[in-house]
């Protein structure tokens, strides 16, 4: 078993060793004990296991493809039946493996586990079914593209597991359950989602945090997903901090031990989100446009340097956009964008003024090579909109977006820019 608490203590106290980001993204599907009767199985999303003396209580089931190996690892640790499985929220990497746990219980002759979740998990599953194609596209951009898969490589199967398992016990704000020796206090707070729960186990002085802690900058801005709630997220972190927990178990990354260390991590995360909300709302209240705000509001550099706040998945600029969307709607303050012209018509007019799409593409390449990636992408996109069948324009666009991708940190930015580069590269091949 890995000593996960020692690993996290070293990283928080001394920093992440150079060249060792994999320490925070372990998907071994192996179980490590965190204390007497509590264990963590590391996977794409972890599964937390509590041995209550009267059945196991689990948090999350990971992805469908991870579930069977997770169960095998868990069974080397405990043969007790599973009493309860709590979904921290309805993202597929947390609920996708549930059917394997149902089948496993049936194979053993055990009763079906009780599935507990916030009441909004079921509507989330319904929405995933309605938007299956869209979710496949955005997950390809975020994950599959980086592994070299083209969109055409994706199969026709719907998004999500082969069979969704819906919760049979739901709650609104709070619910307490006792299983064996353990009291489990489940609390609802908005954050990454509107259906999120976190749990406090008072006898163990432990918190199961779900995705409120992911060992990266909070995923509160994702540009391709539905509304996130950064201030409510910070509120949840403050509530956790007030518990004086001795063990904090996230669904991604490493568990954390020790009151002082846990309080420091939660405080820094909350301060980062609170600062973004406060500064964004100050500028909104002054009548600033969204474009002005995203180029003005920043998280202090010392916070972003923390090993658990690096913007490697989401990033603060995207969170600012979500704050605007939450409090101000979709109009960005630029009156021309209220009822815009077609992209292709505007692009054609700009290219006429610039001397044609090739000239604009050439300038985009110049700006890209000078490191002015934001401007370069605008020009490359305008040129493509005006000349969508030009191989030369697509060649330039592919190079501009590939360079932009290489210069980005967050997986979300890399995915979107990489998809644009791949799109144009394929047009050149055709």
CATH number at residue 61: 3.60.15.30
In a domain, 109, yes or no: yes
Q: Which of 240, 269, 298 is the last residue of a domain?
A: 269
Mean pLDDT of 123-148: 88
- Higher-scoring residue by pLDDT: 405, 154: 405
Mean pLDDT of 106-126: 98
Same domain, 252 and 387: no
In a domain, 229, yes or no: yes
Instruction: For residue range 204-234, list pLDDT tens digits in order.
Output: 999 999 999 999 999 999 999 999 999 999 9
Percent of the chain with pLDDT over 70: 97
Residue of 121, 323, 88 lying closest to 227 (CA atoms): 323
Query: Where residue 152 falls among pLDDT bands split at 50, 70, 90?
Result: low
In a domain, 244, yes or no: yes
In a domain, 204, yes or no: yes
In a domain, 97, yes or no: yes
Q: Which of 216, 251, 269 is the last residue of a domain?
A: 269
Same domain, 346 and 245: no
Quote the mean pLDDT of the chain.
95
In a domain, 208, yes or no: yes
Query: What is the model's pLDDT at position 144?
Result: 65
Same domain, 262 and 390: no
Same domain, 253 and 360: no
Same domain, 168 and 42: yes
Domains identified in the chain, total number? 2
Structural domain boundaries enclosing 154? 4-269
Count, residues in the chain: 430
Same domain, 163 and 248: yes
Same domain, 31 and 170: yes
Instruction: For residue range 42-70, list pLDDT tens digits in order.
Output: 999 999 999 999 999 999 999 999 999 99
- How far is it, in rounded angstroms, from Cα 216 to Cα 233? 14
Same domain, 247 and 347: no
Q: Which of 249, 269, 289 is the last residue of a domain?
A: 269
In a domain, 296, yes or no: no
The CATH number of whichever domain residue 375 belongs to comes to 1.25.40.880
Query: What is the model's pLDDT at position 117?
Result: 98
In a domain, 79, yes or no: yes
């Amino acid at each position: 078993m890995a000593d996960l608490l020692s690993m996290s203590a070293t990283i928080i106290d001394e920093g992440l060793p150079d060249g060792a980001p994999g320490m925070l993204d372990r998907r071994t599907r192996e179980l490590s004990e965190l204390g007497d009767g509590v264990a963590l199985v590391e996977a794409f999303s972890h599964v937390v296991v509590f041995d209550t003396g009267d059945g196991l209580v689990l948090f999350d089931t990971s992805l469908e493809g991870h579930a069977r190996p997770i169960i095998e690892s868990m069974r080397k640790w405990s043969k007790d039946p599973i009493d309860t499985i709590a979904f921290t929220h309805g993202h597929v990497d947390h609920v996708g493996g549930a059917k394997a746990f149902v089948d496993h219980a049936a194979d053993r002759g055990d009763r079906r586990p009780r599935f507990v979740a916030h009441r909004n998990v079921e509507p989330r599953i319904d929405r995933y079914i309605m938007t299956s194609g869209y979710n496949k596209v955005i997950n390809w951009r975020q994950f599959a593209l980086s592994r070299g898969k083209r969109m055409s490589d994706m199969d026709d199967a719907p998004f999500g597991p082969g069979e969704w398992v819906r919760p049979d016990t739901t709650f609104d704000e709070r619910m307490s359950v006792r299983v064996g020796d353990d009291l489990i206090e489940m609390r609802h707070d908005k954050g990454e989602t509107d259906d999120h729960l976190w749990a406090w186990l008072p006898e163990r002085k432990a918190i199961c945090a779900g995705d409120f802690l992911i060992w990266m900058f909070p995923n509160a801005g994702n540009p391709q997903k539905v509304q996130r709630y950064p201030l409510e997220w910070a509120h949840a972190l403050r509530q956790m901090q007030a518990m004086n927990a001795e063990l904090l178990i996230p669904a991604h990354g490493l568990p954390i031990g020790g009151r002082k260390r846990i309080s420091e991590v939660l405080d820094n995360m909350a301060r980062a989100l609170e600062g973004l909300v406060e500064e964004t709302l100050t500028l909104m209240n002054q009548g600033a446009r969204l474009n002005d705000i995203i180029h003005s509001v920043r998280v202090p550099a010392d916070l972003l340097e923390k090993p658990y706040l690096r913007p490697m998945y989401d990033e603060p600029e995207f969170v600012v956009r979500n704050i605007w969307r939450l409090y101000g709607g979709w109009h960005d303050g630029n009156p021309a964008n209220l009822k815009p012209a077609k992209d292709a018509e505007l692009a054609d007019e700009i290219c006429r003024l610039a001397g044609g799409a090739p000239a604009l593409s050439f300038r985009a390449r110049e700006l890209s090579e000078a490191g002015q990636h934001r401007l370069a992408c605008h020009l490359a996109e305008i040129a493509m909109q005006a000349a969508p069948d030009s191989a030369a324009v697509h060649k330039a666009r592919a190079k501009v977006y590939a360079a932009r991708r290489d210069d980005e940190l967050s997986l979300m930015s890399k995915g979107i820019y990489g998809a644009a580069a791949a799109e144009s590269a394929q047009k050149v091949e055709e």
